[in-house]
Amino acid sequence: MKDKTIKTIKFFGLSFLEPLLRALSGEETQKNLASFIKKTLFPIASIFLFILVWHLGATALFNKEAEARIEKAKTEQGEEAAKAMADCIASGDVSCQPNTLPSPQQVYQAYIALWKDHLQISEKKSDFKEKVADTNAQREEQGLSPITYTGRPSFLDQIGTSLKTVAAGFLLALFIAVPIGIIIGLSDVLRNSFNWLIQILKPVSPVVWLLLVFMIVKTVITDPNMDKSFIISFISVGLCAMWATLVNTSLGVATVDKDYINVSKVLKLSIGKQIFKIILPASFPLIFTGLRITVSVAWMVLIAIELLAQSPGLGSFVWEEFQNGASDSNAKIIVAMFVIGIIGFLLDRIMLTVQNFMTFSKA
Amino acid sequence: MPILELKNVNKSYGTGTSKVDVLRNINLSVEEGEFVAIVGFSGSGKTTLINMINGLQFPDKGQVLLHGNPVNGPGPDRGVIFQNYSLLPWLSVFKNIKLSVDEAFPNLSKQEKEKHINKYIKMVNLSHATHKYPKELSGGMRQRVSVARALAMNPEILLMDEPLSALDALTRGTLQEEIIKIWSKDKKTAILITNDVDEGILMADRIIPLTPGPKATLGPEFKIDFKRPRDITEINKDPHYKRLRNDILEYLIEVGATRKQTSDQKYLLPDLKPVMPGRVFFGRKKKNEKVKYF
Ligand SMILES: Nc1ncnc2c1ncn2[C@@H]1O[C@H](COP(=O)(O)OP(=O)(O)O)[C@@H](O)[C@H]1O
Ligand SMILES: [Mg+2]
């Protein structure tokens, strides 16, 4: 039972809980507790250290900016104004707050505000749905498309959109890179012929991919009803992120253990069986490593691409907040930063789990 | 007509200055139902030789004839047991064997196949591990799967490339007996590559030494005519066994030594201290005291 639990938590990448579990179950309590403290409590302590440093840094920056403002008021408008400015800053009035790195509390407040905003918008949305339910039913009978809510998306909606885009981009990368990787992996000639192209395209920046995709999509898709910005951003994400999978797949396929190939030859497997029963399973470890890199690259470039493509999502959220310049905009950007980081981490963990599940360990 | 014939087979690797003549002038003729062991130093070209018989490689010169027809590729008529098991790690024992059964008997129904596979798993005493994966098995168990995989194809000729070299002496002994037991049931033709003279003496009808490479060739054959079933302790007591064993070892050491003089290639000669030929005449050798020679 205990061993099974430990196996399960390890499988999900939570192995840091193992010593605690062992200690709780009375197994070498002291040793395991010590190990738990070292492996788990210290990392937690480091979070507090991080917040402390951040807090100190933010305070220092705040003071510097505040002094600069007071100084400026003094030189431009005199003593009086400087004093008013100092009072204003001390009172916490939003109109005169220094605009700098937000402190941890501010970020936490921004997080709460975003959450409340989300609840509000969801409520509005469901109200709207109720209101138009009858009309939509009628419209459906007449064969018209339903009326949908077109209000401002909440932060959570933006996260959802981003995840959708990254998923679409990932699938695109998967369906392009894996088959091509297999084909060029199987043939030395093809691999050598296209290697230059892959090597050149691999380091191209997401921005350039975006522009390239934009040029093509603009011409190809003329239907105004189609969500062009979504299409552009997911294709760009896919194209940016697919290279790791392409290279790894072709490498994996090209370097299948000779023993396995000999087995397939001795058994006279057909080409199809040889690919699906021997070559693919043998290259799964490398393919999944590639896919894992693809997911993290996709998530990383997504933000930049959304930001540039003006397509909804976390990227445009960050950009809008930056341009908006409201008193809590900076704090919201930091919230977005953490959300992006945590989601990226979770995506990686999911891929790692899938990878562990799909790959054999060599005998 | 011999079932298998090698005529003046030459094989080299590489080209130009880096060309290495591995095998030269190999002549071999194997009759149906025979068990032939080929003994040789490591790196002399034993795997290359067996690969030309199973159709993974082709001679540069000469011919490999099966029933009088040149070999032009692998086929289900030749079952191969590879040197390093070569099990597919992503398939269970059952599925590893199924892969070869699917190819050898495509027309069997699902139940028939299952029965067939289980029969061979049972034959190698692995019924308890049917659904285990190779990584969960010990070396000896893996080699058993490999044996079952080759036998399940019901091949005419069984080709074994140092099947037991990687195993410890005890496991080795058991598996030798098991393979012989299975072989004697339907007397398939078998070719065993080995680096252990005792293994050859216990299992084969003929032992043929392969001289050390490069330009390795087959030496004079040694007939082993102990009655079957052979019992290792019985054979050990037989003076004929000791003479035979000495002859073979002496031959191998001699060709090994000549080779050392004529080539500047580094070669580690076997450390023969424990049982020098001639010294074991009156000592009773225990089963697990087997010495690895090469
Ligand atoms: N594919 C290959 N290319 C070049 N040289 C090879 C190749 N395979 C084997 N050799 C060389 O041929 C010789 C015989 O190899 P091998 O048949 O594997 O020997 P053995 O099985 O007796 O240990 C060795 O010197 C080895 O380095
Ligand atoms: Mg070998």
Cα dihedral sign for A262, A267, A268, A269? negative
Nearest protein CA to atom 3 of ligand 1, as residue: B13
Residue A45 to residue B171: CA distance in whole angstroms: 53
- The confidence score (pLDDT) of residue B259 equals 64
Nearest protein CA to atom 10 of ligand 1, as residue: B13
Q: Nearest CB to B86: which of A259, A268, A360? A: A259
Tokens of B52: 């030309």
Residue A200 to residue A185: CA distance in whole angstroms: 18
From chain A, pick out residues whose CB is under 8 angstroms from the CB of B87. Answer: 363
Residue ranges, chain A, pLDDT below 70 = 361-363
From chain A, pick out residues whose CB is under 8 angstroms from the CB of B137. Answer: 363
Q: What does the DSSP 8-state code read for residue A100? A: S
Q: Which amino acid is at A197?
A: L
Chains A–B, number of C-beta pairs less than 8 Å apart: 57
Q: What does the DSSP 8-state code read for residue A39? A: I
User: Residue A304 in contact with residue A316, Cβ under 8 Å?
Assistant: no
A266:B89 CB<8 A? no
Q: Does A208 touch chain B (CB under 8 A)?
A: no
Angle formed at CA A75 by CA A71 and CA A81, multiple of 5 degrees: 75
**Nearest CA among A154, A149, A121 for reference residue A135:** A149
Tokens of B110: 């699902």
Q: Does A284 touch chain B (CB under 8 A)?
A: yes
From chain B, pick out residues whose CB is under 8 angstroms from the CB of A262. Answer: 56, 82, 86
- Mean pLDDT score across all residues of chain B: 86
Is the C-beta atom of B43 inside 6 A of ligand 1?
Answer: yes
User: Residue B22 in contact with residue B13, Cβ under 8 Å?
Assistant: yes
Which residue in the block uniquely carries the two structure tokens 């709780």?
A24
B135:A267 CB<8 A? no
Residue B133 to residue A359: CA distance in whole angstroms: 13
Give B45 Cα–ligand 1 centroid separation in angstroms: 6
User: Residue A242 in contact with residue A168, Cβ under 8 Å?
Assistant: no
B135:A361 CB<8 A? yes
- The confidence score (pLDDT) of residue B268 equals 55
Q: Nearest CB to A262: which of B76, B86, B137? A: B86
Q: Nearest CB to B103: which of A269, A284, A360? A: A269
Is the C-beta atom of B212 inside 6 A of ligand 1?
Answer: no
Q: What does the DSSP 8-state code read for residue A147? A: P
From chain A, pick out residues whose CB is under 8 angstroms from the CB of B77. Answer: none
Sort strands B35-40 and B206-210 into parallel, antiparallel or unpaired: parallel
Per-residue CA distances from A103 to A86, A110, A318, A328, B102 (Å) = 19, 11, 18, 11, 67
Q: Kindly report the nearest CA distance between residue A16 and chain B, in angstroms.
A: 26
Q: pLDDT digits over B131-182, tens only?
A: 999 999 998 899 999 999 998 998 999 999 999 888 888 888 888 988 888 8
Q: pLDDT digits over B213-270, tens only?
A: 788 899 999 999 888 888 888 888 888 888 999 999 999 888 887 765 555 455 555 5
- The confidence score (pLDDT) of residue B260 equals 55
Is the C-beta atom of B117 inside 6 A of ligand 1?
Answer: no
Residue A246 to residue A243: CA distance in whole angstroms: 5
Nearest protein CA to atom 5 of ligand 1, as residue: B13
Residue B219 to residue B69: CA distance in whole angstroms: 25
Residue B63 to residue B5: CA distance in whole angstroms: 8
The dihedral formed by the CA atoms of A293, A296, A297 and A303, expressed in degrees to the nearest 10: 170
Q: pLDDT digits over B33-54, tens only?
A: 999 999 998 889 999 999 999 9
User: Residues 194 to 233 of B: which have CB under 8 A from any A CB?
Assistant: none
Task: List the strands of the sheet with B222-223, edge to edge.
Answer: B78-81, B157-161, B189-194, B35-40, B206-210, B222-223
Q: Kindly report the nearest CA distance between residue B134 and chain A, in angstroms.
A: 6
User: Residue B135 in contact with residue A361, Cβ under 8 Å?
Assistant: yes
Residue A270 to residue A255: CA distance in whole angstroms: 19
Reading phi first (left if > 0) and then psi (alpha if -120 to 50, else beta), residue B213 is in: beta
Which residue in the block uniquely carries the two structure tokens 């019924």?
B127
Question: Burial letters for B152-191: b for 16+ Cβ neighbours within 10 Å, e otherwise?
Answer: bbbbbbbbbbbbbbebeeebbbebbbbbbebbeeeebbbb
Which residue in the block uniquely carries the two structure tokens 């007996």?
B177
Residues 6+ apart with CB under 8 A from B230: B180, B202
Q: Indicate the pLDDT class of residue B276, thresholds 50, 70 and 90.
A: very low
Q: What value does the CA radius of gyration of chain B take, rounded to a whole number of Å?
A: 19
From chain A, pick out residues whose CB is under 8 angstroms from the CB of B155. Answer: none
A362:B56 CB<8 A? no
pTM of the full structure = 0.80
Per-residue CA distances from B76 to A272, B191, B192, B273 (Å) = 19, 16, 18, 43
B75:A262 CB<8 A? no
The overall longest dimension of chain B from CA atoms, in Å, is 60
| Alpha helices in A37-154, H assignment, sequence order | 42-77, 79-91, 104-141
Q: Does B266 touch chain A (CB under 8 A)?
A: no
- The confidence score (pLDDT) of residue A255 equals 93
Cα dihedral sign for B242, B245, B248, B253? negative
- The 3-class SS string of chain B reads CCCEEEEEEEEEECCHHHCEEEEEEEEEEECCCCEEEEEECCCCCHHHHHHHHHCCCCCCEEEEEECCEECCCCCCCEEEECCCCCCCCCCCHHHHHHHHHHHHCCCCCHHHHHHHHHHHHHHCCCHHHCCCCHHHCCHHHHHHHHHHHHHHCCCCEEEEECCCCCCCHHHHHHHHHHHHHHHHHHCCEEEEEECCHHHHHHHCCEEEEECCCCCECECCCEECCCCCCCCHHHHHHCHHHHHHHHHHHHHHHHHHHHHHHHCCCCCCCCCCCCCCCCCCCCCCCCHHHCCCCC
- The confidence score (pLDDT) of residue A342 equals 94
Question: Has residue B125 got a pLDDT over 80?
Answer: yes
Q: Which residue of B has its CA nearest to A262?
A: B56
Q: Nearest CB to A268: which of B76, B82, B87? A: B76
Is the C-beta atom of B57 inside 6 A of ligand 1?
Answer: no
Residues 6+ apart with CB under 8 A from A224: none
Q: Which residue of B has its CA nearest to A278?
A: B88
Percent of chain B past pLDDT 70, that is, above it, reads 88
A265:B56 CB<8 A? yes
Q: pLDDT digits over A177-197, tens only?
A: 999 999 999 999 999 999 999
- The confidence score (pLDDT) of residue B270 equals 54
Ligand 1 closest atom vs CA B216: 14
Question: Burial letters for A319-335: b for 16+ Cβ neighbours within 10 Å, e otherwise?
Answer: bbbeeeeeebbbbbbbb
Q: Kindly report the nearest CA distance between residue A274 and chain B, in angstroms.
A: 11
Percent of chain B past pLDDT 90, that is, above it, reads 57
Q: Ligand 1, from B38, B47, B52, B208: best to mutate by most atoms within 8 Å of Cβ?
A: B47
User: Residue A315 in contact with residue A252, Cβ under 8 Å?
Assistant: no
ipTM: 0.81
From chain A, pick out residues whose CB is under 8 angstroms from the CB of B55. Answer: 265-266
From chain A, pick out residues whose CB is under 8 angstroms from the CB of B75. Answer: 268
Q: Best mutation site among B83, B86, B151 for testing chain A: the one with the most A CBs within 10 Å?
A: B86
Q: Nearest CB to A277: which of B54, B56, B99? A: B99
Q: Which residues pair with B20 in a beta bridge?
A: B13
Residues 6+ apart with CB under 8 A from B260: B267, B269
